[in-house]
Amino acid sequence: MSSLSDESRNAFFSAFKTWDVPKEHFLVKEEQVCNYIFFVAKGAVRIFYHKNEKEITEWIALDEEFLLSIQSFFQRSPSRLIIQTLEPSEIWGIYYDDLIRLATAHHDIETWFRKLPSAALILAQNRMDSIQFETAHQRYQNLLNQHPNIIKRVPLTYIASFLGITIETLSRMRAKQ
């Protein structure tokens, strides 16, 4: 965002809508098109999907983080992912059509918008590398380093799912600390 001119930054942020939403509010439901890039101004949100009748947490976003169902947003297709608040949250969102309009009018916003998929791809690669090459303990420690208060804010079942471990394994790791 720091690379945006003052004019572009003002246009960009004036296009955002804001919502104060309760805990367990769905920002995107399964099979719904993700029409917004969301910013969690304050709160906690998870992205998850259903597999074999279980909920699998793919991502957890806390205060001042962006999130979206990237495939649904860019391809304008129904999402397999569900986006739901985990606590009362202040959410900002920029609508797809508004972002396209701004990207057409402001070169620096277009550049930011163009970089978004590559940033998401890097995050996805880092997540896959973490699951493939790190131990469960390393993944847990990295999560705590990035979000020291996550244990107080996010149910352990979602954290375990995000880490790709059972709740029992997470409980054993926590007991050793």
Residue 142: how many CB atoms within 10 A of its CB?
14
Query: What pLDDT shows up at residue 2?
Result: 61
The predicted structure's pLDDT at residue 102:
93
Residue 5, C-beta contacts closer than 8 angstroms, at least 6 positions apart = 106, 108
Alpha carbon distance 82, 27 (integer Å): 8
Residue 173 CB neighbour total at 10 angstroms: 17
Strand, helix or coil for residue 165: coil
Question: Looking at residue 44, what is its pLDDT?
Answer: 97
Smallest CA-to-CA distance from 124 within 70, 63, 51 is with 70
Q: Are 65 and 42 in contact (CB under 8 A)?
A: no
CA 130-93-36 angle, to 5 degrees, is: 70
Percent of the chain, pLDDT > 70?
99
Residues of the chain with pLDDT under 50: none
pLDDT tens figures, 7-31 = 988 998 899 999 999 999 999 999 9
Q: For residue 76, what pLDDT is reported? A: 97
Question: What pTM does this model have?
Answer: 0.90
Q: Which pLDDT does position 1 carry in this prediction?
A: 56
| Residue 33 CB partners (closer than 8 Å, separation 6+) | 72, 76, 77, 78, 79
Q: Quick check: 14 and 109 in contact, CB under 8 A?
A: no
**Complete domains list, the chain, with CATH:** 6-133 (2.60.120.10)
